[in-house]
Structure 1
């Protein structure tokens, strides 16, 4: 782990790519804390599984009684062929598609989980140093508890990602992601059908494949999205925008997303190997995304934090 010193910063969007939920930019102070130098790896997660026998969300059959609380009343039960142990796996489109329809590049893959990232015929042999993926919020909490750690707050995550730079767009500064030498594992080319592989990686990359930020943290941009402890509220920043700043914000009391009002969501940060300026620009330090607690995907992992 790396020690991140206490400090204050302006949290929120830094350029015209910022979404409405990244504003208003507001002053935040955080106490010093420890954070993992890298995303949790397959090797680290395997040690947790071997010690505890834990079964991840993706390895369990979904419970319709739990799922239906996340969808509008009256939503019909999916067929039994869908309610199987599965997870979301990336499948490239054959050509240009609407970027508003993620079903064009995600498939619900039976048998996909942390040990089988692309489905039952895949495995993680030789990928011990890759970030563990297909991790739900519940899975991340279980690992943190076992390791004596916790998930970082959203404010801690952004403060750490900025690496001491003030009002910069990326962990490395302001040079665009596709200028100069590759700085993060992202999607180069035309998403979601043509990747030029300028960074040499189509999917996730081993941790520490790219230079760290000024705090010595790796992959705070790209590679895989990372869970934060906070609930997601699209208007949260406006509630903590105080002239004198706010100390150690922990996130809203409840989740609020007008796109899916019944779903309970948490913040994910950092972007992934699928991020591209045409789609999500997730490698920006201020970029906020949200997903349901039971979500597990091929590009979703985490790193842990710890108090002094």
Structure 2
């Protein structure tokens, strides 16, 4: 199917150079039964992700006990998770049903732009690490440091940074020439497989990726590492085991989310791809586009006493 499609939907310019106008996303190739099973699995995961993150957003906005900086950031993280999975999952489901799917060059760049913006917003995890550092290492000054105005500014800066970087890394690829194969063996329009099909030199795009990696990877990672170094050092100095356990429980959920996010991104974009099968690359991509947005609300729900209490309060309120 992919070979037949590669002969179509191309334009020939005045200088007789073939220009690709659409791409064919292969998705997961296999039997109809396997694709139907994957479709049902991803459909359930997608709906559960939307419901779980909407639950967190609703609880944080309606429950007074959750009107704190930490839950404010968690609600924004939930919005980001909804965007990430909504940008990729519906099109992925369509590809599974039809054993592949077409997407225009503009549509491909647009999908990557929104995806990059949502993923870049995850740098808010660094802000959340700083919030936990202040709460544990400087508890007496917490309310004066993490004010509502500061929290809004941090969230706004994270969103603006995501939009700014996504525009930069999306505009340049849109100006590349695509004149060869138009088959993308992936589940969505990620930048790496798209650049592999470019006929023109993609050096500038790769340079932009490395430069943009400083504000979206190196700086947030450094903040997280430094914050948790101080947090762990402070917790270890607490004399009672009960006090240490209570202090660690306030940041354990966030630490798990941080490890999951950076581990999956590291495996996909940092580890060498040589020797890695395409199926493995697509499976790793599913971890941070489909399953991580699902696991995040589960972690914050089942490992957080305040959210459990907020759910119980709403349940008993409507029961009465």
Which structure has greater helix proportion? 2
Which structure has greater strand proportion? 1
TM-score (normalised: structure 1): 0.28
* Larger of the two Rg values belongs to structure: 2
TM-score (normalised: structure 2): 0.27
